[in-house]
C-alpha cells in the first residue's frame, strides 16, 4: 500500500509515499497497482473528490491556468488605467455620464467574477 498525498484545497493528487512514511494529512491509502495506473496516465491529472479519484484532462487544466494568467494581466492593465482615471477624471460617455473610472471598475468586476469561476 502507498499513501497518496492530497492537496487540501483542490483535492489534487500530489505524490505517492510508502505506507510507513509520515505524510501530512490529507492522504489516501491506495494499492501500488492503482497508483501505477494513475501515474502512467499522462493525459490526465487526478483529483480525489467524494472519495473517488477523478481524472481531469491536462489540456483543460492548462487552458484554465492560461486564462487565469490572461485575466491577471488584464487586471494589472486596468489598474494602471484606473490610476490615470482617478488623477485625471473625465466622462467616458456623455449620454450616460459614466466616467472612465466607473467603466474600468465595472470591467475589473467582470474579470474577477470570471477568475473566481475558473
pLDDT in tens, 7-25: 998 999 998 999 999 998 9
Residue with cell 485625471: 88
Q: What is residue 55's predicted lDDT score, i.e. its pLDDT?
A: 95
CA–CA separation, 30 and 28 (whole Å): 6
The answer to whether residue 55 is domain-embedded is: no
Q: What is residue 89's predicted lDDT score, i.e. its pLDDT?
A: 85
- The residues, any chain, with a CB within 8 Å of residue 48's CB and separated by 6 or more, are 4, 6, 11, 13, 26, 28, 54
Residue-level pLDDT, tens digit, the chain, 118 residues: 999 999 998 999 998 999 999 998 999 999 999 999 999 999 999 999 999 999 999 999 999 999 999 999 999 999 999 999 998 889 998 899 999 999 999 999 999 999 999 8
Q: What is residue 93's predicted lDDT score, i.e. its pLDDT?
A: 87
Same domain, 75 and 113: yes
- pTM greater than the 0.85 cutoff: no
The number of distinct structural domains making up the chain is 2
Same domain, 8 and 45: yes
Same domain, 32 and 72: no
Same domain, 35 and 70: no
C-alpha 8: how far from chain center: 14
Range of the domain at 72: 60-117
The answer to whether residue 100 is domain-embedded is: yes
Q: What is residue 104's predicted lDDT score, i.e. its pLDDT?
A: 95
Q: What is residue 88's predicted lDDT score, i.e. its pLDDT?
A: 86
Same domain, 25 and 45: yes
Same domain, 64 and 112: yes
Q: What is residue 117's predicted lDDT score, i.e. its pLDDT?
A: 93
Same domain, 8 and 44: yes
Select from 10, 27, 49 the last residue of a domain: 49
Amino acid at each position: 500500500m502507498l499513501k497518496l498525498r492530497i492537496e487540501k484545497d483542490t483535492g489534487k493528487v500530489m505524490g505517492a509515499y510508502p505506507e510507513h512514511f509520515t505524510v501530512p494529512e490529507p492522504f489516501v491509502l491506495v494499492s501500488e497497482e492503482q497508483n501505477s495506473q494513475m501515474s502512467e496516465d499522462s493525459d490526465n491529472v487526478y483529483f480525489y473528490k467524494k472519495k473517488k479519484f477523478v481524472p481531469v484532462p491536462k489540456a483543460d487544466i492548462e487552458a484554465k491556468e492560461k486564462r487565469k494568467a490572461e485575466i491577471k494581466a488584464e487586471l494589472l492593465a486596468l489598474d494602471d488605467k484606473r490610476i490615470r482615471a482617478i488623477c485625471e477624471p473625465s466622462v467616458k460617455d456623455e449620454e450616460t455620464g459614466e466616467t472612465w473610472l466607473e467603466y474600468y471598475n465595472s470591467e475589473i468586476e467582470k474579470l474577477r467574477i470570471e477568475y473566481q469561476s475558473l
